[in-house]
Structure 1
Amino acid sequence: MDLLQIISKINGVLWGPIMLFFLLGTGILFTIKLRVIQVRKFKLAWNETFGGMFKKSSKANEDGMSSYQALTTAIAAQVGTGNLAGVATAIATGGPGAVFWMWISAFFGMGTIFAEAILAQIHTERVDGEITGGPAYYIRKGLGSKFLAGFFAIAIVLALGFMGNMVQSNSIAEAAYSAFNMNKLVTGIIIAFIVGLITIGGIGRIASFTEKIVPIMAALYILGSLVIVLTNFNQIGPSFQLIFKSAFTPMAAAGGFLGSTVKGAFRYGIARGLFSNEAGMGSTPHAHAIAKVKHPAQQGLVATMGVVIDTGVVCTLTALVILTSGSLYSGNNGILLTQEGFVKGFGSFGNSFVAVCLFFFALSTIVGWYFFGESNIKYLFGKKAINIYRALVLVCIVVGTTMKVELVWELADTFNGLMVIPNIIALLGLTSLVVNVTNDFEKSLDEGNISEFGNN
């Protein structure tokens, strides 16, 4: 048995039913404890997120970034190649019913991500003059465990900063080669150069990049997807019927499609939803920690909208492109399945469209994951180690474009799983704090002590 097979078997256990149970279960717990806050305060969350969207944001600095910039930085990381390839794989493997369970995981994930953002807001710290935060800080300060905090910090630097970004750059290189016959090494150097220009400018330039690129890339993909879906308007109703029906009944194989079971739909739908919006994984709190808001729960509400955009909108549109276009029965899987849907609607331009979207999605994810890793480098070594970390990330980006990444992807999954464990322990251990802070927020709202749009 080679190393790849060994790591794959480890991931089979690590990301098995137990992990999915705790991730989903944590979301259910917070949904109950917070009295379904994602529904009760949805309007307020929408207003907090988009009420100040068109205001001029203050420049991010050592004191943090605006609430909207924090959200776009989080979404930059959440919306990635998984929204194109991962959703397609979940549908091909678990059937259309996987989409239903993806929505369910997103609904409860909103409770989890609300809690993560609150804890990150409360437990911030100045490192060499700059405000920073994230799970490592609330694990150490809130839970009181230096060991688990250090364990989390190391795991996320390896999972996202290094290995995860190798996979993302590889995805861009593969798409550019497929669509434009572009040399992969050249692609890697270009990506590294762009990322270097962004990250060398620190938090100010990262926030400025994400607040500009995220709305553009989201609008581009949403518009393109809607064209495909509306072109196949007569298939929208049947597609939703298929999603709900196959979520609870097995589906027969046809046209290269493997067929599905209810268990498969549940497993792959829940997993895809959680992997996509990253609720409970401990990544997005790094951005929400440093948002300039009047109350921690305001950023908690803003964080929930990241799940809505990522899973509720982008992932759902990918699924509808696949189902309404009929590409599900093409015999393809992964990104090829999504590409087939766009090719059916746009002709040969469909390949180029997916390649461009993939470039923006993966590039924004690289920047977001770089930032999350940097926050933990600060925790482990202080600001002095950032230049070394940045250089290593840029090397990983270039190397990632030239190699087969099966082993790297498996290792990234392993460290992803390892970083989830201490984060979930902290969330469960600090549940009462989240509830108390939320109650204080709702009391302040009733008394009129908090303005509606916070500090966008």
Structure 2
Amino acid sequence: MNLITIISKINSILWGPIMLFFLLGTGLLFTLKLRFIQIRKFKYIWRETFGGIFKKIDKADEDGMSSFQALTTAIAAQVGTGNLAGVATAIAAGGPGAIFWMWISGFLGMGTIFAEAVLAQLHTERVDGEITGGPAYYIKKGLGSKFLAGFFAVAIVLALGFMGNMVQSNSISEAVHVAFNIPKVVTGIVVAGLVGLIVIGGISRIASFTEKIVPIMAGLYVLGSLVIVFINYNQILPAFKMIIYGAFNPMAATGGIIGASVKEAFRYGIARGLFSNEAGMGSTPHAHAVAKVKHPAQQGLVAIMGVVIDTGIVCTLTALVILTTGAFSSGLIGAQLTQEGFIRGFGGFGSTFVAICLFFFALSTIIGWYYFGESNIKFLFGKKGIKFYRILVLLFIIMGTAMRVEIVWELADTFNGLMVIPNLIALLGLFSFVVNTTKDYEENFNHNDISEHQHN
């Protein structure tokens, strides 16, 4: 039995029904206990996210970054190859109905990501003068488990800092090679160089980069997708029909083109949705922890907007491009299926458009994931470990372009699974912290909102 088969077997257990049940269950628990905060507080989610966007923002420093910068750093990590390749994989394996279950996982994930951001805000620490936070800190300080905290920190450095960034550089080099015929290793060296220039400037340069690039990058992709969807406007309703019908009766939705069962639609939709928005995985709390806000629940609300943008907008548009252009019946999978949708919409330029978007999506994800890894290097070794970590990340980025993509994905999946477990234990163990903090926000901080809770 070769290495890839062994890792794949481990992953099928690790990412089997039990993990999906716990991830979804945690989201459902917080959604119910916080009384559907993602709907109830949508006005405040919008206000907290975009209210101060045009005000002069202080530069990020050792005391943290602005709430909006924290969100863009989180979105930089969330919006990546999963939004292009992951959505396509879900449709290819589970039929259009998988998108319905992706929405469900996103909706419930909003409860989880709110809880993660609140806990991260409550349990920050100064490491060598710099404010730092994330699951390792709330596991150690809140749960009181040094072992689980250390286990999480090691798993996330391997999952995102090293393996995950190899996946991203592999995707970038592949897309650039197909579109422009540039050798993969050349792309790897260029990406490593760009990443090096950004991360060497520390938190202020990382925050400044994500704050500028993420809105442009997401805006460009959304615009391109909308153009194609509106060109095929007569297919919009049939596409939504396929998604809704396909969630409960896949064969009827596609006329039997994709022989997917309801079970497959559910499994791939949920798994790819959680993979894309990262709710419950313990990655985005590192950015939300260092946001300069007056109350932890404020950043929790901002974190919900990350899932709205990632799953609600970007993933949905990718799905609509694939379905309205008819690309889903092409037999292609992964990023190639998404590329096919854009080629059908934009002609030859479609391939270039996807390559450019993928380049920026994956580059910003590398920056976000680098930062999450760095927070855990600080947890394990203090600031002195950062220089060595930085060099290793850049080497892994170049190596990723030369490796077989299957083994890199499988290893990333394994370590992702390992970091989810301690994070979920902490979320469930510190449940009352989240509920009490939210109650405090609604009763004492959010004055305009008190009247709506008088009757509760």
TM-score with structure 2 setting the length: 0.97
1:93 counterpart = 2:111: no
> Residue type of the partner of 2:322?
I
Counterpart position of 1:184: 184
Q: What SS does the aligned partner of 1:251 have?
A: helix
Q: In the alignment, is the contact (CA less than 8 A) between 1:89 and 1:333 conserved in 2?
A: yes
* 1:327–1:449 CA distance, 2 compared to 1 (3 A): closer
Q: Is residue 285 of structure 1 aligned with residue 285 of structure 2? A: yes
- Structure 1 match to 2:51: 51
Equivalent in the alignment of 2:404: 404
Change (3 A) 1:449 1:203: farther
User: What is the match of residue 163 of structure 2?
Assistant: 163
User: How many angstroms apart in 1 are the aligned matches of 2:253 and 2:103?
Assistant: 24
In the TM superposition, 1:22-421 aligns within 5 A as: 22-251=22-251, 257-421=257-421
Q: CA deviation at 1:448?
A: 6.0
Q: Structure 1 residues 254 and 71, CA, compared in 2 at 3 Å: closer, same or farther?
A: closer
1:169 Cα deviation after fit = 0.3
Unaligned segments of structure 1, at least 5 residues: 451-456
Distance 2:295 2:190 in 1: 41
Cα distance in structure 1, aligned partners of 2:318 and 2:110: 20
Alignment partners' CA distance in 2, 1:195 and 1:294: 32
Q: State the AA in 2 paired with 1:118.
A: V
8 A contact 1:256–1:330 mirrored in 2: no
Residue 131 of structure 2 aligns to a residue whose secondary structure is: strand
Q: AA paired with 1:94?
A: G
What secondary structure does 1:89 align onto?
helix
Partner of 1:424: 424
C-alpha spacing 1:329/1:17, structure 2 compared with 1 (3 Å): same
Letter in structure 1 aligned against 2:269: G
Note if 1:8 corresponds to 2:8.
yes
Cα deviation, residue 260, structure 1 = 1.2
Q: Is the 8 A contact 2:136 2:153 kept in 1?
A: yes
| C-alpha deviation, 1:124, in angstroms | 0.1
CA contact (8 A) 1:255 1:331 kept: no
1:156-179 CA distance string (max 9 Å, x none): 000000010011001000001000
Q: Which amino acid aligns with 2:91?
A: I
Distance 1:104 1:424 in 2: 19
AA aligned opposite 1:11: N
Deviation at residue 404 of structure 1 after TM alignment: 1.1
**Residue 57 of structure 1: how far off its partner (Å):** 1.7
The 2-side partners of 1:256 and 1:31 are apart by: 36
- C-alpha deviation, 1:376, in angstroms: 0.1
Which is worse superposed, 148-157 or 243-252?
243-252
Amino acid at match of 2:52: G
User: CA–CA distance in 1 between the matches of 2:58 and 2:432?
Assistant: 33
Contact kept? 1:53, 1:68, Cα under 8 Å:
yes
How far is the alpha carbon of 1:418 from its aligned partner?
Answer: 0.4
* Pair 1:330–1:294, CA change in 2 (3 A): same
Residues in 1 aligned to 2:253 and 2:144: alpha-carbon distance in whole angstroms: 52
Structure 2 CA distance for aligned equivalents of residues 85 and 235 of structure 1: 22
C-alpha contact 1:252 1:259 (8 A) present in aligned 2: no
Structure 2 unaligned regions, length at least 5: 451-456
- For residues 446 and 165 of structure 1, what CA distance do their matches in structure 2 show? 40
User: How far off its partner does 1:53 sit?
Assistant: 1.5
Alignment match, 1:453: none
For residue 54 of structure 1, report the CA deviation from its aligned partner: 2.0
Structure 1 Cα separation of the partners of residues 360 and 4 of structure 2: 29
How far did residue 251 of structure 1 move? 1.4
Cα gap change, 1:326 to 1:88, in 2 (>3 Å): same
1:296-321 per-residue CA deviation (whole Å, 9 max, x = no partner) reads: 00000000000000000000000000
- Counterpart Cα distance in 2 of 1:142 and 1:299: 19
Show CA shifts across 1:184-232 (max 9, x none): 1111110000000000000000000000000000000000000000000
Task: Find the aligned partners of 2:253 and 2:435 in 1 and give their Cα distance.
Answer: 46
The one-letter code of the counterpart of 1:423 is N
Separation of aligned partners in 1, 2:240 and 2:11: 32
CA contact (8 A) 1:71 1:306 kept: yes
CA–CA distance in structure 1, aligned partners of residues 174 and 361 of structure 2: 14
Q: CA deviation at 1:447?
A: 3.7
**Which residue identity does 2:90 align to in structure 1?**
A
Instruction: Give the drift of 1:256.
Output: 10
- How many angstroms apart in 2 are the aligned matches of 1:272 and 1:233? 26
Native 8 Å contact 1:254 1:329 kept in 2: no
Q: Does residue 1:444 correspond to 2:431, yes or no?
A: no
CA contact (8 A) 1:339 1:354 kept: yes
Q: C-alpha separation between the residues in 2 aligned to 1:258 and 1:449?
A: 48
Matching residue's letter, 2:94? G
TM-score (normalised: structure 1)? 0.97
- CA shift, 1:449, in A, is 11
* Inter-partner Cα distance in structure 2 for 1:109 and 1:327: 29
1:253–1:259 contact (8 Å) kept in structure 2: no
The one-letter code of the counterpart of 1:415 is: F
Displacement of 1:55: 2.0
Shift of 1:354: 0.2
Tell me by how many angstroms 1:183 deviates: 1.1
CA distance 1:257–1:384, change in 2 (3 Å): farther
Between the aligned partners of 2:347 and 2:256, the Cα distance in structure 1 is 21
SS at match of 2:251: coil
State the one-letter code of the partner of 2:344.
K
SS for the counterpart of 2:126 is: strand
How far did 1:445 drift? 3.5
For residue 253 of structure 1, report the CA deviation from its aligned partner: 9.8
